[in-house]
Structure 1
Amino acid sequence: MDLAELSAAPGFPGSEAPREEAWGLVAGTPRHADGPTVILQGHVDVVPAGDLGQWAGDPFVPRVDGDLVHARGAADMKAGVAANLAVLAAIQASGVRPRGRVSGHFVVSEEDGGLGAFGTLRRGHTGDACIITEPTASTLVTATAGALTFRIEVPGRSAHASVRDSGASAIDAYQPIHAALALLEARRNLDPDPLMAEYPVPYALSVGTLRAGEWASSVPDLLVADGRLGVRLDEDPAAARDELEQCVAAACAEHPWLRHHPARVSWPGGQFASGRLPAGHRLGELVAAAHAEVTGGPRPVEHGAPYGSDLRLYAGAGVPTLHYGPGDVRLAHGPRECVSLAETVQVTRTLALAVLRAAGTD
């Protein structure tokens, strides 16, 4: 992928991980007749392991314990990627001839914005429906919230710590802003969409990093807070950004130091809009019916997810999209990340049935 061209393109979703190159893979079955293209999509990037002392072993060496595979990325989402590859291999080995095309999209950079999906779609690799095998614990996720990375730079005035009253601590100045952000989060989570109502905080606002000061005996003259603002379903990301900026400005206006030295808000990194499968689209019915048939149980629960994903990029390109995959997202990004082998096989069988029915067969 041409990183310079993509970063300058309209709608660039942002990125946070430094990279000098990016690669994607698109492959699929031959088209034998005039049928639809059904996409199986998965991202191959993972987040850092974090504190290695909290892991039972090397996070990048898979450890099998009974039915579970433990490793960073096992659930998010190497199991989903493996399922997609297995479906494509099974279709090829079976000799079944889909009338349309079953296509696999394997992308990078989902965790920090969606550069891989963005570039894949810009190359013209689209379709009539898409299943992203994110970890959904075999449920149907038909809508995802958005997430916008923000940065707040709070100025101070340096001074020797022994005469701190002659300076202005950026740490002290940040505190009323942090309190205002908590109130903003509470307001933004009133009356959520029914698909998100199961979550205590469906649209979380979280500050992830704070950096301030350069010397213990100096009053800090700058604090930088990086965080994540949840975007409500169907909300314009520009409106969400404006609401946070107004919140920070209002907090500054009430503070004696910040009133004359206001904090600065910027939006680096990933910018995830929300997205959803169109109401009543047959893709949800096909996957639900295939799941019930494969498992011999009830149809999977349908709900939304409180995180951003590549779903919104495919939906924005006019490709109806949902999530259905193995693994529990509550274990993702943590030291207990694992996935069930039996569930992965079950999801793979469901996907094979669903995509063949969606693409049609001779």
Structure 2
Amino acid sequence: MNSVEQTIVKSCDEVFNDLLSFTQDMVKQYSVLNQEQGVLDVVERQLADLQLPVQRVAMKHEALCSHPLYAPVPWNHEDKYNLVSQINPGAEGKTLVFNGHLDVVSAAPADMWTRAPHEPWIQDGWLYGRGAGDMQSGVAAMIYAVHAVRHAGFKIASPLTLQAVVEEECSGNGALSCLQQGFGGDFVLIPEPFGPQIYTGQVGVLWFKLTVQGKPVHVQDTAAGENAIEKLQRFIPPLKQLEERLNSDYRQPPYDTIANPFNLNIGTIQGGNWPSSVPAYAEMEGRIGFPVGMSANEIMQKVSDVIEQASQAMNLSGAGKPILRFHGFRSEGHLVDLKHAGIGLLADCHRSLVGAEPEQYLSTCTTDLRAFHFYSRTAGTCYGPIARNIHGVDECVDIESVRHTLKTYALFISRWCKLEPL
């Protein structure tokens, strides 16, 4: 590293404690779906305190709904927004984008946690709390990377955009809305908590909801009724068989190195209304992964065919047939262009800091990277901290890995962007 880069890396250490406090402030907000206002306020204030420009970018419902990449959800977006900080928009030079999501998944049941999930705590070098890893520490790192460059005495003179978005955990509509309104760039980095590795690809993901009706009767004669919960359970084995077929028939390179890359998960199930009544309804929501190259329409058709065939095998007709809906993710998979100059530069920054080649990570989930890939063919990857128990109990992030992400991003800025002395 040259003297400028060394100064910037040193600056990262000087601002790191503030970054950590900022992360804890975000975690305290517990920003589950449609309750993101608290964390949005925290991030907006932090950007202003760091003297970074910030604007609220509304999620324009009508425009979103008409876009082919829109993931249908059962709520309106008119009162929702993302935060964007644009530095030097329209200036000459390659545009760099950092994108991170603020929303988190539910931490319920909270009594399984060592401490309350929205009360962050530090132990043995790890920061605990829902969102600490996925991915509010990463959001803090990308924002403070810009701050560290300025703190070191340098002005970023080329275009750079910070995006702090919502709805990554369920639809990806937040990032899509930013791109739809022109907040794109030439290369994007996303600090997902998969560690300091080059993210090389991700599978497609589809969400679905299946509802069935039963016949409610008193339990004195259960045979006179039809138990909707038991009926619903009979659809799970055929869906598991679809999962098996996807993993046997479509596990092509590079996913042939992973035993089961296309996973089915039955995520929620509910039904009935009284222990002594045969349940009249039952509903489950699920997620299934699918291979790169398969379209969303294709996987939706496969799921539909499975449900239809199972219904026929059960002799279901009329009101007795299940209702299948698709909502949330219908996100196709893709592979990262590892030959892009931005990927090479990221690898160079990693080598400069650790003296070794970065490892690669092939994902069996999805991220907002897909919006950049499919919307504008923008190159990019994920590179971030190390987290444990993502979406689980006692989620945590390795604090030193956050520091490393901060330094890598600041170094990347110094090599990608045009810098001038303040």
TM over 0.5: yes
TM-superposed CA distance for 1:315, in Å, is 0.9
| Equivalent position of 2:220 in the other structure | 162
Q: Against the structure 1 CA distance between its residues 193 and 76, is the aligned structure 2 distance closer, same or farther, given a 3 Å change threshold?
A: farther
Equivalence map 1:273-352=2 (5 Å): 273-296=332-355, 298-318=356-376, 319-328=378-387, 330-352=388-410
The answer to which of 240-249 and 205-214 deviates more is 205-214
How much is the aligned-residue C-alpha RMSD, in angstroms? 2.4
| Equivalent position of 1:38 in the other structure | 96
Residue of structure 1 aligned with 2:314, choices 255, 262, 275: 255
| Equivalent position of 2:61 in the other structure | 4
TM-superposed CA distance for 1:260, in Å, is 8.2
| Equivalent position of 1:356 in the other structure | 414
Task: Provide the rounded CA distance (Å) in 2 between the counterparts of 1:17 and 1:60.
Answer: 25
TM-superposed CA distance for 1:340, in Å, is 1.5
Residues 196, 303 of structure 1: 8 Å contact kept:
no
The answer to which of 175-184 and 152-161 deviates more is 152-161
Task: Provide the rounded CA distance (Å) in 1 between the counterparts of 2:253 and 2:349.
Answer: 25
Letter in 1 for 2:130: R
| Equivalent position of 2:194 in the other structure | 136
Per-residue CA deviation, residues 280-307 of structure 1 (Å, 9 max, x unaligned), is: 22222211221121112x2222222111
| Equivalent position of 1:101 in the other structure | 159
TM-superposed CA distance for 1:207, in Å, is 1.1
Q: Percent identity?
A: 26
Task: Provide the rounded CA distance (Å) in 2 between the counterparts of 1:317 and 1:270.
Answer: 15
| Equivalent position of 1:217 in the other structure | 276
Per-residue CA deviation, residues 166-209 of structure 1 (Å, 9 max, x unaligned), is: 22222332233111011110111125244444544311111111
Residues 15, 114 of structure 1: 8 Å contact kept:
no
Q: Against the structure 1 CA distance between its residues 112 and 325, is the aligned structure 2 distance closer, same or farther, given a 3 Å change threshold?
A: same
Letter in 2 for 1:94: A
Equivalence map 1:134-283=2 (5 Å): 134-190=192-248, 191-257=250-316, 261-283=320-342
Residues 243, 263 of structure 2: 8 Å contact kept:
yes
Task: Provide the rounded CA distance (Å) in 1 between the counterparts of 2:92 and 2:252.
Answer: 38
Q: Against the structure 1 CA distance between its residues 55 and 198, is the aligned structure 2 distance closer, same or farther, given a 3 Å change threshold?
A: farther
SS of the aligned residue for 2:92 comes to coil
Residues 150, 226 of structure 1: 8 Å contact kept:
yes
Q: Larger RCO: Structure 1 or Structure 2 (Cα < 8 Å, ≥ 6 residues apart)?
A: 1
| Equivalent position of 2:48 in the other structure | none
Letter in 2 for 1:52: A
Task: Provide the rounded CA distance (Å) in 2 between the counterparts of 1:4 and 1:34.
Answer: 32
| Equivalent position of 1:79 in the other structure | 137
Letter in 2 for 1:273: E
TM-superposed CA distance for 1:321, in Å, is 2.0
TM-superposed CA distance for 1:161, in Å, is 2.2
Q: Against the structure 1 CA distance between its residues 121 and 31, is the aligned structure 2 distance closer, same or farther, given a 3 Å change threshold?
A: closer
Residues 276, 311 of structure 1: 8 Å contact kept:
no
- Provide structure 2 residue ranges, at least 5 long, that are not aligned to the other structure: 1-57
Residues 147, 308 of structure 1: 8 Å contact kept:
yes
- Provide structure 1 residue ranges, at least 5 long, that are not aligned to the other structure: none
TM-superposed CA distance for 1:20, in Å, is 6.8
SS of the aligned residue for 1:81 comes to helix
Letter in 2 for 1:294: L
Residues 13, 271 of structure 1: 8 Å contact kept:
yes
Per-residue CA deviation, residues 296-331 of structure 1 (Å, 9 max, x unaligned), is: 2x2222222111221111111221121100023x52
Residues 196, 305 of structure 1: 8 Å contact kept:
no
Aligned length: 360
Residues 45, 109 of structure 1: 8 Å contact kept:
yes
Residues 161, 183 of structure 2: 8 Å contact kept:
no
Letter in 2 for 1:123: Q
Task: Provide the rounded CA distance (Å) in 1 between the counterparts of 2:224 and 2:261.
Answer: 43
Task: Provide the rounded CA distance (Å) in 2 between the counterparts of 1:245 and 1:251.
Answer: 10
The answer to which of 115-124 and 214-223 deviates more is 214-223
TM-superposed CA distance for 1:105, in Å, is 1.0
The answer to which of 284-293 and 274-283 deviates more is 274-283
SS of the aligned residue for 1:346 comes to helix
Task: Provide the rounded CA distance (Å) in 2 between the counterparts of 1:32 and 1:224.
Answer: 50
Task: Report the TM-score, using the length of structure 2 for normalisation.
Answer: 0.79
TM-superposed CA distance for 1:358, in Å, is 2.8
Residue of structure 2 aligned with 1:49, choices 96, 107, 114: 107
TM-superposed CA distance for 1:125, in Å, is 0.4
Per-residue CA deviation, residues 30-79 of structure 1 (Å, 9 max, x unaligned), is: 36963110111111111122122221212112211232111111100111
Per-residue CA deviation, residues 197-254 of structure 1 (Å, 9 max, x unaligned), is: 4544311111111222222232223221111121322321110110000011111111
Task: Provide the rounded CA distance (Å) in 2 between the counterparts of 1:264 and 1:52.
Answer: 32
Residues 15, 115 of structure 1: 8 Å contact kept:
no
Task: Provide the rounded CA distance (Å) in 1 between the counterparts of 2:239 and 2:295.
Answer: 19
Letter in 2 for 1:156: G
